[in-house]
Amino acid sequence: MSEIFFDLVFIFALTRVIAVMGSPPAAVSMVRGLVLLLLLWMSWTLYVWLSNRARADVGLVRAGVLLAMLAIFVIALVIPGSWHTHRGAASAAVVLALAYIALQFLHLALFFYASAGSRQSRRTLGIFEIAVVVSWVPLILGAMLGGVAQTVLWAAVFAIEYGGGHLASKLSGWQLRSPAHFSERHGLVVMIALGESLVAAGAHAAPAIVRWPELLAAVLGFVATVCLWWLYFDDTAVAAAKALEKLAGQTRNQAASSAYSLAHFPMIAGVIYFALGSQQVLIRVDRQPMPGLLSASLDWGSAVALYGGVALFLGGRAVFLALTVRSVPRAEVVAACAAPVLLPAGRFLPALVALGLLTALLVGQIFWERFRRGEAAVDVAEVTSV
C-alpha cells in the first residue's frame, strides 16, 4: 500500500508541472515543464528499483520512503513558482533543489542499506552516487541563477544522473529481482497518471458544466484518455511483462532499464501534455459566447501540447514494444506519426473540432489493432486446423 501512496504523491507532483507550462503554454514554459518532468521521473524510477530490491512497507525502508514522499510533496507545492524571480517566490527554486537533494540522498542511503551482503549492488551504487553528488552542483547553481541558466543547468542534472546510472549499469549492473513487480509498478503509474490527467484537464472548467459544447469537450477528452488507457493495458502491458519474465540475468536488467525506466517516460510525459492541451480546449469552449462548434482555435503552444502529447505517448508505446516483444506493427508507427502531421489542422480548426479529430485518430487506432489481432487469430486457427 505504501507504494501506491508513493505513486499518488508522485503523480500529484507531475500534474503540478502543468501550472509551470502556463495558460496558454509557451515554448519556453513547455521546455521548463519537460525538464521538471525528467527530474521527477528520474527520482521515481530510482525508488522503483529500490522497492524491487527491498520491501517498501516494513522497517527502515518504510520510514525512508515516507520521508521521500514528504520531499516529493514539498517539490509539488513549490513547482508552480520554481522559475519565478519576483520577490517572495525567488526561493521556490532553492526549496525545490534542496528537497530534490534530500530525495536523492534518501534513495542512496536506503539502497545502500538494502544492498547489505551484495558486493555487486554496492559497487553499482558507488559508481552511480558519484554522478548524483556531482549533479547537485548544477542543481543548486540553477536554482540561484534562474532564467535560461536554470533551465540549462537543470537539464544537465538529468543528463549527469542518467549518464551515471547508464555507466553503472554497463560497468557493474543493476539487479532486477522481480520482473512481475517491476512491470506492475510501471503499469500502475500509467493508470494513475491517466486518471489524474482527467482531474487536471478539468481544473479550469466552469463550476458547473451545463452547455452542450462544454459537455462534448469533456466527453471527447474522456474518450481520448480511455483510448490511451486501452492502447497500453489491453495488450501491450501484458505482452511486455511476459517478455520480460522470459529474460534472465543482465539481459533482463538491461531490458528493464531501457523498456521501462526509459521508454515509459515519453508515455507519462505525453499524458501530462495531453492533459494540458485538453485543459486549453475546455477553456476555449467555456469562453465561447454562443453554443456551437465554432469555438476559438487553439494557439500553437496548446495545439503542440494536445497533439504532441498523443504523439509522445504513441511513440513511447512503439519503442516500449520494440524493446520488449521485439515487434512493432506498422499501424502503430503510422499512428504515432499521424498526430504531428495533423498538428497544423489542430491549430487552425476550432478547439472542439481539433480535440474531436485527435480522438477519432485514437479510436481508429484501437479498431484497427483489434481488427489486425482478429485476422492474426483467424490465420493461426486455419494453420492449426490444417
The domain boundary, picked from 124, 150, 175, lies at 175
Q: Check residue 210 and give its pLDDT.
A: 61
What does each of the 386 residues of the chain score in pLDDT, given as a tens digit? 678 889 999 999 998 998 889 878 899 999 999 999 999 999 999 999 998 888 777 788 889 999 999 999 999 999 998 886 555 444 899 999 999 999 999 999 999 998 887 888 889 889 999 999 999 999 999 999 988 999 999 999 999 999 998 888 888 778 888 899 999 999 999 999 998 888 776 666 555 566 777 888 888 999 999 999 999 998 789 999 999 999 888 888 888 989 999 999 999 999 999 999 998 998 888 766 655 556 688 999 999 999 999 999 999 999 999 999 887 777 778 888 899 999 999 999 999 999 999 999 999 999 888 877 665 543 433 333 44
Q: Check residue 382 and give its pLDDT.
A: 39
Q: Check residue 379 and give its pLDDT.
A: 40
Q: Check residue 3 and give its pLDDT.
A: 85
The Cα 171–Cα 167 span in angstroms is 6
Question: Does residue 109 sit in the same domain as residue 225?
Answer: no
Q: In degrees rounded to 5, what are phi and psi of residue 277? A: -65, -40
Question: Does residue 81 sit in the same domain as residue 192?
Answer: no
Domain that holds residue 370: 178-386
Q: Check residue 384 and give its pLDDT.
A: 34
Question: Does residue 65 sit in the same domain as residue 213?
Answer: no
Question: Does residue 149 sit in the same domain as residue 100?
Answer: yes
The Cα 301–Cα 273 span in angstroms is 10
Question: Does residue 11 sit in the same domain as residue 154?
Answer: yes
The domain boundary, picked from 175, 204, 239, lies at 175
Helix count (H) and strand count (E) of the chain?
15, 0
Q: Total structural domains in the chain?
A: 2
Question: Does residue 157 sit in the same domain as residue 135?
Answer: yes
Question: Does residue 326 sit in the same domain as residue 183?
Answer: yes
| Residue 125: strand, helix, or coil | helix
Question: Does residue 233 sit in the same domain as residue 285?
Answer: yes
Long-range contacts of 120-124 (CB under 8 A, 24+ apart): 120/172, 120/173, 120/175, 121/53, 121/174, 121/175, 123/172, 124/168, 124/169, 124/171, 124/172, 124/173, 124/174, 124/175
